[in-house]
């Protein structure tokens, strides 16, 4: 899965959509392949039009991937699971949920939402293609032999490609092995039957590993006998599925003992904070010199968390000016949201927290945004050790 901070593209329905650097490689490859394909399908269109259509088609394809992941995200949010964001990367897209589902039913609904959305995309593109070019014309476009080399034929070809690639991904994604959506559906069914999420994860992951071996074997055959590029790509997909399946089991083992714990159960509930109205000279002497910490949370007069104040920022202000400036003046931009969690967030949601990894701590606030505690990496590690 994507690692590190992705590049933000937009916010869609309140969900951050970003791209991993590996996505640009796939975008380039798809445009390159499609440019040649469309040039052959539209032989009298010149060079510019096939390239422009290839770019448009690639972007529409990735838009359909985002819509697929939004299906997961919307259903997850409706079931009380917050979404860290959606990332596009080398092997498609992923909706990053802050915690796992608490029941088999919720797990099933979240997993099934993405494929359902993709099915609707396939139906919409087929419907649009038939309405535009007619049944026979769209069938010809699917075969990359449009009846007319004009805007109608070019549009039908684009819609046909989108319909076919989404249909192919829908079928592949429904294979019953983790980390595919079909594997998550299979896990939900096994969870319902066994009542044990960890056992259900092992079953679905085992299916995922079996499919990974099958894909790797098929990829090697294709690389040797048919198409080197397609075969290598299939091997890479198989390796990814196998690794992700093993990671799912490891994650399940880690979270099994803490799945009922929330942030408030392990946090330090007596945090030391800087008052926003306190002058910088007092803040420096009474907090930074006294405790020796590199940062402190800043709160307003009612205790609401505003963000972080760093020692280096305070010491960057000349001593003569510190008396006339307050702690609130130097709150780091964005830290009020980046390093904030809710006290009732599941503890397992922090296992992959980039903010916790970067700072070593996150600020826990209640539903009103009032600072209630601080949770550090040490707190999380102790909770994991206790649970094992």
101 contacts 59 by C-beta, under 8 angstroms? no
Prior bond of 179 cis (ω within 30°): yes
Q: What is the pLDDT of residue 72?
A: 96
**CA-CA-CA-CA dihedral for 248, 252, 258, 261, to nearest 10:** 60
H-assigned helices in the chain = 22-41, 48-78, 104-142, 151-173, 181-194, 197-225, 228-255, 263-266, 280-283, 289-291, 311-315, 319-322, 335-338, 354-359, 377-387
Measured between alpha carbons, how far is 163 from 381 in angstroms, rounded to an integer? 47
Dist. CA 353–CA 141, nearest whole Å: 46
Residue 3: other Cβ atoms inside 10 A = 10
Q: What average pLDDT values come out for the chain (388 residues) when binned by 10 residues?
A: 68 88 88 87 79 92 94 93 85 82 92 96 95 90 76 86 94 91 95 91 92 94 86 89 86 71 92 96 94 95 96 94 95 92 86 84 95 94 78
Q: Within 10 Å of residue 320's Cβ, how many Cβ atoms?
A: 8
Q: Output the pLDDT for position 347.
A: 85
pLDDT at position 252: 76
Let me know if 69 is a catalytic residue.
yes
State how far the Cα of 345 lies from the Cα of 367, in Å rounded to an integer. Answer: 11
Question: How many angstroms separate the CA atoms of 105 and 112, rounded?
Answer: 11
Element at 16 (helix H, strand E): strand 15-19
CA–CA gap between residue 216 and residue 221 (Å, rounded): 9
Q: Which one of the listed residues 69, 270, 277, 354 is annotated catalytic?
A: 69
The pLDDT, as a whole number, for residue 20 is 87
* pLDDT value for 384: 82
Residue 388's pLDDT is 60
**Token representation of residue 202:** 């092992």
Q: How far is CA 322 from CA 82, 280, 291, 330, 388, in A?
A: 40, 5, 19, 11, 49
> Which CATH code is given to the segment(s) 263-387?
3.10.580.10
Domain boundaries, the chain: 7-174, 195-256, 263-387
Predicted structure pTM score: 0.74
Residue with the two structure tokens 């964005």: 334
pLDDT of residue 322: 94
| Residue 5 confidence (pLDDT) | 64
């Amino acid at each position: 899965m994507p690692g590190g901070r992705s590049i933000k593209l937009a916010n869609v329905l309140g969900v951050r959509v970003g791209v991993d650097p590996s996505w640009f490689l796939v975008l380039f490859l798809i445009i390159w392949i499609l440019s040649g394909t469309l040039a052959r399908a539209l032989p009298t269109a010149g060079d510019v039009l096939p390239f422009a259509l290839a770019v448009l088609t690639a972007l529409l394809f990735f838009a359909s991937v985002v819509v697929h992941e939004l299906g997961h995200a919307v259903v997850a949010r409706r079931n009380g699971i917050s979404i860290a964001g959606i990332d596009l990367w080398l092997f498609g897209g992923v909706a990053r949920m802050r915690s796992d589902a608490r029941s088999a039913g919720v797990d099933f609904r979240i997993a099934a939402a993405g494929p359902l959305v993709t099915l609707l995309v396939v139906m919409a593109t087929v419907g649009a293609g038939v309405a535009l070019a007619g049944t026979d014309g769209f069938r010809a476009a699917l075969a990359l032999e449009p009846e007319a080399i004009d805007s109608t034929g070019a549009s039908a070809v684009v819609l046909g490609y989108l319909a076919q690639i989404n249909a192919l991904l829908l079928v592949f994604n429904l294979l019953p092995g983790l980390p595919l959506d079909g594997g998550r559906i299979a896990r939900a069914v096994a969870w319902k039957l066994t009542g044990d999420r960890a056992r259900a994860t092992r079953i679905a992951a085992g299916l995922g590993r079996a499919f990974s071996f099958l894909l790797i074997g098929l990829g090697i055959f294709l690389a040797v006998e048919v198409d080197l590029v397609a075969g290598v790509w299939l091997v890479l997909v198989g390796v990814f599925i196998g690794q992700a399946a093993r990671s799912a089991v490891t994650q399940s083992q880690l979270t099994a003992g803490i799945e009922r714990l929330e942030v408030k159960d392990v946090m330090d509930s007596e945090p030391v904070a800087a008052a926003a109205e306190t002058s910088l000279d007092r803040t420096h002497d009474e907090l930074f010199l006294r405790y020796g910490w590199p940062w402190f949370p800043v709160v307003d007069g009612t205790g609401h968390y505003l963000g972080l104040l760093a020692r280096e920022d305070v010491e960057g202000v000349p001593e003569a000016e510190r008396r006339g400036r307050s702690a609130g003046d130097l709150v780091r931009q964005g830290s009020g949201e980046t390093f904030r969690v809710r006290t009732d967030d599941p503890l397992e949601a922090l296992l992959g927290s980039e903010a916790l990894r970067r700072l070593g701590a996150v600020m826990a606030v209640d539903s009103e945004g009032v600072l209630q505690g601080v949770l550090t990496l040490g707190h999380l590690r102790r909770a994991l050790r206790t649970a094992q």
